[in-house]
Amino acid sequence: MEEGSCYVDIKNKAHGRKLLAELASQRKNGEFLDVVVQVEGREFPCHRAVLASTLYFKTMLSSNFAESTSKAVQLHGMDSSSFSKILDFLYTGEIRIGKDQGRIQDFTAHMLQFDTMLQHCKKFIQDNLCPNNCLGVLRLAHMYDDLSELKKSARTMAVSNFSEATQDEEFLSLSLEDLLDLLGVEDLKATTEDDVVSFVIRWLDHAPESRRRQTAILKILPEIRLSCVRVSVLRKLELHPVIRESTECLAYIIAARERHLLGTQVEKEEARSSNRRGVSDKLAIIVGGWKAVNKPHLRDNDESEPLPVRPSPGPMQSIICLDPDNQQYYHIANLPTPANGYMGVASAGGHLYVTGGREKRLTAKGPHPVPSRQAFRYHFPSDKWLRLPDMPAGRAGHQSVVVDGKLFLVGGDAEDTSSYTVTMDCYDPEEAFWIKILVPPTLFTQSFTKLTMTTFGDKVVFITVTPTELERLFNLCVHLFDVKTNGWRKADTFLGNAWAKVPDVFLPTSANGKLYIRAVYTETTHYSEQYIFDGEKETLNRDDKQYFMDDFLGARREYHYFSTKGKEIVDTISNYGFGNNYCPIKRAPLPFALFGQSFLEIQKSRIGWYCRDVAALALEE
The residue with greater pLDDT, 591 or 347, is 347
pLDDT surpassing 70 at residue 278: yes
Q: Residue 475 maps to which CATH number? A: 2.120.10.80
Alpha-carbon distance 508 to 515, whole Å?
Answer: 7
Task: Tell whether 170 is covered by a domain.
Answer: no
Which of 63, 93, 128 represents a domain boundary (last residue)? Answer: 128
**Kind of pairing, strands 527-534 and 539-542?**
antiparallel
**Mean pLDDT highest for which of 72-81, 215-224, 427-436?**
427-436
413 and 272 in one domain? no
Is residue 270 scored above 50 in pLDDT? no
- Of the chain, the percentage scoring pLDDT greater than 90 comes to 23
Q: Examine the fold and report which residue of 254, 279, 304 is the final residue of a domain before the chain moves on.
A: 279
State the pTM of this model. 0.71
Look at residue 276 in the predicted model and tell me its pLDDT.
85
Q: Among residues 447, 451, 445, 481, which one has the least CA distance to residue 464? A: 451
Instruction: Please indicate whether residue 479 or residue 606 has the higher confidence score (pLDDT).
Output: 479
Task: Specify the length of the chain in residues.
Answer: 621
pLDDT for residue 205: 85
pLDDT at 497 > cutoff 70? no
* Residue 380 to residue 368: CA distance in whole angstroms: 32
d(CA 102, CA 122): 8
Distance CA 231, CA 222 (A): 17
Query: Is residue 223 within 8 Å of residue 271, measured between CB atoms?
Result: no
pLDDT at position 269: 46
Question: Is position 48 within any domain?
Answer: yes
Position 83 pLDDT exceeds 90: no
- Per DSSP, the residues of 207-231 read SHHHH--HHHHHHHGGGS-GGGS-H
Angle 231-238/247-262 helices, nearest 10 degrees? 160
Residue 517 lies in a domain: yes
Query: Does 58 reside within a domain?
Result: yes
pLDDT per residue as tens digits for the range 286-337: 999 988 765 443 334 444 444 444 545 578 899 998 888 777 888 899 999 9
Alpha-carbon span 43 to 273, nearest angstrom: 58
User: What is the spatial distance between Cα 133 and Cα 104, in angstroms, rounded to a whole number?
Assistant: 12
347-359 mean pLDDT: 92
471: pLDDT confidence band, cut at 50, 70 and 90? low
Residue 605 and residue 507 share a domain = yes
Residues 232 and 286 in one domain: no
On whether both 123 and 210 belong to a single domain, the answer is no
The whole-number pLDDT of residue 297 equals 39
Residue 8 lies in a domain: no
CATH code, domain with 239: 1.25.40.420
Statement to judge: residues 333 and 358 lie in one domain: yes
Domain CATH code at residue 94: 3.30.710.10
pLDDT at 480: 92
Burial of 309: CB neighbours in 10 Å, binned 0-12, 13-18, 19+:
buried
Q: What's the chain's average pLDDT?
A: 78
Is the pLDDT confidence value at 148 over 90?
no
Domain that holds residue 238: 175-279
pLDDT in tens, 512-548: 888 888 777 655 555 677 889 998 898 998 887 655 5
pLDDT at 621: 36
Residues 528 and 545 in one domain: yes
Cα(first)–Cα(last) distance of the chain, in Å? 96
Q: Compare 471 and 268 and report the one with higher pLDDT.
A: 471
Residue 406 lies in a domain: yes
Query: How confident is the model over 88-105, as a mean pLDDT?
Result: 66
| Domain end marker among 128, 151, 185 | 128
pLDDT interval class at 357 (50, 70, 90): very high
Q: How many domains is the chain built from?
A: 3
What per-residue confidence (pLDDT) applies to 305? 43
- Position 133 in a domain: no
Most confident of 95-109, 255-269, 359-373, 570-584: 359-373
Nearest to 581 by CA among 511, 526, 514: 526
* Domain shared by 101 and 211, yes or no: no
Q: How far is CA 614 from CA 55, 224, 241, 285, 582, in A?
A: 60, 20, 27, 15, 34
Given a cut of 70, is residue 145 above it in pLDDT? no
DSSP β-ladder status, 35-39 and 72-75: parallel
CB 571 within 8 A of CB 226: no
Task: Name the residue among 134, 123, 133 with its Cα closest to residue 157.
Answer: 134
Please indicate, yes or no, whether residues 258 and 332 belong to a single structural domain of this protein. no
pLDDT tens digit sequence for 323-333: 887 778 888 99
> Alpha-carbon distance 434 to 390, whole Å?
8
What is the helix (H) or strand (E) element at residue 488, kind and residue range? strand 488-494
Q: What is the pLDDT of residue 32?
A: 92
* Judgement on whether residues 274 and 294 belong to the same structural domain of the protein: no
| 372 shares a domain with 497 | yes
Same domain (yes/no): 305, 238:
no
Distance between CA atoms of residues 284 and 280, nearest Å = 11
Average pLDDT over residues 110-122: 64
Q: Are residues 296 and 264 in the same domain?
A: no
Helices (H) and strands (E) in the chain, counts: 17, 30
Tell me whether residue 621 is in a domain.
no
For 176-231, the pLDDT digits (tens) are 888 999 999 988 988 888 889 999 998 888 866 655 567 788 899 999 998 889 88
